[in-house]
Amino acid sequence: MTAWEVAVTALKDATAIAGIGQTAFAKQLPESEKTLACRAIVAALDDAGIDASEVDGFASYTMEETDEVEVAKAIGAGDVTFFSKVGYGGGGSCATVAHLAAAVATGQASVGVAWRSRKRGSGTRPWKNTAVQLPTPAQWTRPYGLLRPADEIGMLARRYMHEYGATRDHLFNVALACRNRANQNPDAVMYERPLTRDMYMTSRWISEPLCLFDNCLETDGALACVIVSAERARDCRQKPVYLHSVAQGLPAQHHGMVNYWNDDPLTGPAWTAARQLWKQADFGPDDVDVAQIYDAFTPLIPLSLEGYGFCGRGEGAAFTEGGALESGGRLPINTGGGGLSEGYVHGFNLINEGVKQLRGVSTAQVPDAGTCLVTAGEGVPTSALLLRS
Amino acid sequence: MDGLLLPVVDDDGAPFWEYAARGELRVQACAAPECGRLRFPPRPCCPHCRSFESEWRPMSGRGRIWSYVLPHPPLLPAYAAQAPYNAVVVELADAPRIRLVGNVVSGPDAPLDSVDPARLRIGAPVRAVFCPAGPGVTLVRWLLER
């Protein structure tokens, strides 16, 4: 074996998610982000049957405002030997788990906790801040009124629709699949709120071509999961969900959100993460039973379907036709409702939902699901996980 | 234009804005004789040959709409007052891989919503105009070509 093959073998299926935890999801929750973070983490450790004093690794997002010092103190963690933060908003979701997998597989930690706690529902909208702006948008895009993520992604969405004949009905297919799954999930913000094509087509614009239902929710909530070695996971309370392959992706000449300047802006970070993900895996896209695809905006789904190899370039919109994304379809997605309809917690609920599927306990269970792709934000430096049971 | 965000100019971008204030659209190019490739947004080093020497090459100011959005509220107040307006990505005729974000307007200092959105099309030809927007800052904006 080459050194690379040895290294990949060392990571493949070497670690597992042994516990998951979450708080309620709502437009507004009364407790602080720190309290919510602690509740989700304590719940995840309890789910795994591991005492908090054994936690020696932490990973979260750079946008996370509860730091590992505060969290470790509050939950009573032991001596911590690995901690890491990943940038680029929702692009970092799966990378938090990936970093802990690498840390556990190489002996830097033995019990890792990844978490995200966010009061995006009751807090302010980040784009309203004009005092702290990212330098490239502040100089080259925001002055022209490209203010919000919906404007930035809407620009790519219109180009995609123009190049490949994608329509609003394709974007509706995405919104509907997520909403239908949320309607089966009592924990979802949109549990009792069905969506119809008429509601979608007559809703207000946010940034044309994107309407209200093309945008994710604004949610308060927190989630966490526990990563341990595969060997240890087999002794834990729950059925292990193995981390088969993990990857991050920052393509050459990419610029997060405002990716207008490379040769091919519609080939986003998903493509880079996917190449790395599949290169390390024993199976391919055709073998994926269920997928949790980052859905801050509906057009991210067709772009991701192409990037992760479920269809060819330009075929992502057509892929959504005929109920392909629904239960029983070719590729059921976002089976808890996703960011569009369960709750938007920077994609961490997609990770936990992937675990639920492979445990067989999802509220929209795919029969005998044995493999699940989870992706982080597309359109920003991203990350992805291949889970297997 | 009261209340609209002004560009936050950095060292790499400063020459772009200095030329814009003189009514010139220029794009950064590698100054290494064997390379000479254009790049945008401006940066310290050529991603193709790693040269730190650069120059600012004049463009014709002609381009085509690569894509556009029509933002609706909620927005920052000064933008909400003109919404829905257009924001466009323009690819330059001289260098189609160089793309600038801007607004299509009916005149250099016209409001953001001064052009009927029904007139916007991907591929529509546009040309640059220059609009003084604040102390030392001149925005590059776009008129539809007939």
What pLDDT digit, counting tens, does each position of A362-375 carry?
999 999 999 999 99
Q: Is residue B2 part of a domain?
A: no
Best CA proximity match to A308, nearest among A339, A262, A277: A277
Cβ of B72 and A207 within 8 Å?
yes
Cβ of B122 and A158 within 8 Å?
yes
Q: Is residue B125 part of a domain?
A: yes
Helix axes A348-359, A93-105, angle to 10 degrees: 60
| Together in a domain, B65 and B135 | yes
Per-window interface: B 107-146 vs A, CB < 8 A: 112, 117, 122, 133, 139
Percent of chain A with pLDDT over 90: 95
Residue of A nearest to B17 (CA): A139
Q: Is residue A357 part of a domain?
A: yes
Asked if the model's pLDDT at residue A163 lies above 90, the reply is yes
Q: Is residue B136 part of a domain?
A: yes
CATH number assigned to the domain comprising residue B116 = 2.40.50
Tell me the pLDDT band of A6, cut-offs 50, 70 and 90. Answer: confident
Q: For chain A, how many structural domains are there in total?
A: 1
Cβ of B41 and A261 within 8 Å?
yes
Question: What would the pLDDT profile of A280-297 be if each residue is shown by its tens digit?
Answer: 999 999 999 999 999 999
From chain A, pick out residues whose CB is under 8 angstroms from the CB of B84: 205, 208
| Together in a domain, B81 and B27 | no
**pLDDT score at B53:** 98
Length reported for chain B = 146
The rounded distance, in Å, linking the Cα atoms of B36 and B44 is 14
Residue A240 CB coordination number (10 Å): 25
Domain boundary among B41, B58, B75: B58
Contact B116, A273 (CB under 8 A): no
Domain boundary among B43, B58, B73: B58
| Together in a domain, B65 and B45 | no
**pLDDT score at B2:** 74
Q: Is residue B12 part of a domain?
A: yes
- Tell me, yes or no, if A139 comes closer than 8 A to chain B by beta carbon: yes
Range of the domain at B33: 8-58
The rounded distance, in Å, linking the Cα atoms of A141 and A153 is 12
Nearby residues of A316 by Cβ (< 8 Å), 6 or more positions away: A164, A166, A301, A302, A303, A304, A305, A306, A310
**pLDDT score at A237:** 96
| Together in a domain, B79 and B141 | yes
Question: Which two three-digit tokens encode residue A252?
Answer: 């050459």
**pLDDT score at B8:** 95
Length reported for chain A = 389
Buried-exposed string A298-310: b where 16+ CB fall within 10 A, e elsewhere? bbbbbbbbbbbbb
Asked if the model's pLDDT at residue A9 lies above 90, the reply is no
Question: What would the pLDDT profile of A348-361 be if each residue is shown by its tens digit?
Answer: 999 999 999 999 99
Tell me the CB-side half-sphere exposure of residue A83, using CA atoms within 13 A: 16
Tell me the pLDDT band of A168, cut-offs 50, 70 and 90. Answer: very high
The nearest CA of chain A is from the CA of B39 a distance in Å of 9
Q: Is residue B71 part of a domain?
A: yes
The nearest CA of chain A is from the CA of B88 a distance in Å of 8
Q: Is residue A12 part of a domain?
A: yes
Domain boundary among B58, B73, B98: B58
A-interface mutation test, from B1, B67, B90, B92, most A Cβ less than 10 A away: B67
| Together in a domain, B74 and B41 | no
The rounded distance, in Å, linking the Cα atoms of A309 and A273 is 11
| Together in a domain, B41 and B100 | no
The rounded distance, in Å, linking the Cα atoms of A38 and A35 is 5
Range of the domain at A295: 3-122+217-378
Helix axes A3-11, A93-105, angle to 10 degrees: 110
Catalytic residue positions of A, numbered: 294, 344
Best CA proximity match to A301, nearest among A312, A317, A287: A317
**ipTM value for the complex:** 0.97
Cβ of A158 and B67 within 8 Å?
yes
Tell me the pLDDT band of A3, cut-offs 50, 70 and 90. Answer: confident
| Together in a domain, B79 and B144 | yes
Asked if the model's pLDDT at residue B1 lies above 70, the reply is no
Residue A130 CB coordination number (10 Å): 12
Asked if the model's pLDDT at residue A8 lies above 80, the reply is no
| Together in a domain, B36 and B83 | no
Percent of chain A with pLDDT over 70: 100
| Together in a domain, B72 and B138 | yes
Average pLDDT across chain A, whole number: 97
Contact A321, A170 (CB under 8 A): yes
The nearest CA of chain A is from the CA of B133 a distance in Å of 10
Q: What SS3 state is found at A139?
A: helix
Q: Is residue B3 part of a domain?
A: no
What amino acid occupies position A381? P
Asked if the model's pLDDT at residue A132 lies above 90, the reply is no
The rounded distance, in Å, linking the Cα atoms of A104 and A90 is 23
Per-window interface: A 104-133 vs B, CB < 8 A: 125, 128, 130, 133
Asked if the model's pLDDT at residue A28 lies above 70, the reply is yes
Per-window interface: B 57-86 vs A, CB < 8 A: 66-72, 74-76, 79, 82, 84-85
Q: Is residue A57 part of a domain?
A: yes
Q: Can you say how many angstroms the Cα of residue A362 is from the centroid of all Cα atoms in its chain?
A: 17
Q: For chain B, how many structural domains are there in total?
A: 2
Q: Is residue A135 part of a domain?
A: no
Report the DSSP pairing between strands B54-58 and B26-30.
Answer: antiparallel
What letter does residue B139 receive in the DSSP assignment? E
**pLDDT score at A338:** 98
Which one of B41, B68, B79 has the shortest CB-CB distance to A140? B41
Asked if the model's pLDDT at residue A82 lies above 80, the reply is yes
Residue reference for tokens 């257009």? B86
Average pLDDT over every residue of A310-332:
98
Cβ of B10 and A135 within 8 Å?
yes
From chain B, pick out residues whose CB is under 8 angstroms from the CB of A203: none
Residue A169 CB coordination number (10 Å): 14
| Together in a domain, B50 and B86 | no
Q: Is residue A174 part of a domain?
A: no
Which one of A143, A151, A159 has the shortest CB-CB distance to B7? A143
Q: Is residue B21 part of a domain?
A: yes
The rounded distance, in Å, linking the Cα atoms of A14 and B59 is 55
| Together in a domain, B65 and B101 | yes
Question: Which two three-digit tokens encode residue A172?
Answer: 């509706």
Cβ of B71 and A125 within 8 Å?
no
Residue of B nearest to A135 (CA): B8
What letter does residue B117 receive in the DSSP assignment? G
The nearest CA of chain A is from the CA of B68 a distance in Å of 5
Average pLDDT over every residue of B42-60:
98
Question: Which two three-digit tokens encode residue B55?
Answer: 């120059």
**pLDDT score at B132:** 94
Nearby residues of A304 by Cβ (< 8 Å), 6 or more positions away: A270, A293, A294, A316, A375, A378
Cβ of A136 and B41 within 8 Å?
yes
Best CA proximity match to A290, nearest among A322, A333, A329: A333
| Together in a domain, B22 and B93 | no
Q: Is residue A166 part of a domain?
A: no
Cβ of B139 and A143 within 8 Å?
yes
Q: Is residue A246 part of a domain?
A: yes
Q: Is residue B74 part of a domain?
A: yes
B-interface mutation test, from A139, A211, A212, most B Cβ less than 10 A away: A139
From chain A, pick out residues whose CB is under 8 angstroms from the CB of B101: 140-141, 144, 146, 258, 260
- Tell me, yes or no, if B14 comes closer than 8 A to chain A by beta carbon: no
Question: Which two three-digit tokens encode residue A367?
Answer: 């029969």
Q: Is residue A233 part of a domain?
A: yes
Cβ of A143 and B47 within 8 Å?
no
Average pLDDT over every residue of B103-122:
97
The nearest CA of chain B is from the CA of A151 a distance in Å of 6
CATH number assigned to the domain comprising residue A15 = 3.40.47.10
